[in-house]
Amino acid sequence: MNIKRTDLEYGFNIKVDTSALALTDLAHDQLYRLNTMQQLQTSGFSVAEIAHRLNQQNIVTPTGQQYYPKLVWVTLDKFRKREARENHAQITVGQDYFFIKASPANAVSPDNYVETMA
């Protein structure tokens, strides 16, 4: 089989793995509650003390309920995981290769191209 330079295409595969968030903006009141909890925890308050402090300041949950220690812990845990995911992406460029172009008469999908060189 004679292969001309014009019959070859050059390519490589790019793989993007991400757990980045699609929605990155939080509502102002939600961000205020999360930052308040995080600041209190950083200052050394326990989750029970944070719940008590939030309830004293009439800061309620998004559903209008009072905070309790387990809810504070779960909220802070989710917030930490959210921050870790916010900008996470891993990009991998695979091995480059040449493949034979398909003529319009017998076109095939890119998945069916025959690799000719590695």
Taking 90 as the threshold, does the pLDDT of residue 68 lie above it? yes
Percent of the chain clearing pLDDT 90 (strictly above): 36
**Look-up of token digits 């993007």:** 16
**Encoding tokens for residue 78?**
């989710």
Q: Does this model's pTM top 0.85?
A: no
The confidence band for 43, taking pLDDT boundaries of 50, 70 and 90, is very high
The candidate with the shortest Cα–Cα distance to 93, out of 11, 24, 23, 35, is 11
Taking 80 as the threshold, does the pLDDT of residue 76 lie above it? yes
Residues 6+ away with beta carbon under 8 Å from 61:
67, 71
Helix axes 47-56, 28-42, angle to 10 degrees: 130
Instruction: List the domain boundaries for the chain.
Output: 5-19+89-117, 28-85
pLDDT higher for 82 or 60? 60
CA 108 distance to own-chain centroid: 34
Which three-class secondary structure state does DSSP give residue 94? Answer: strand
pLDDT higher for 115 or 68? 68
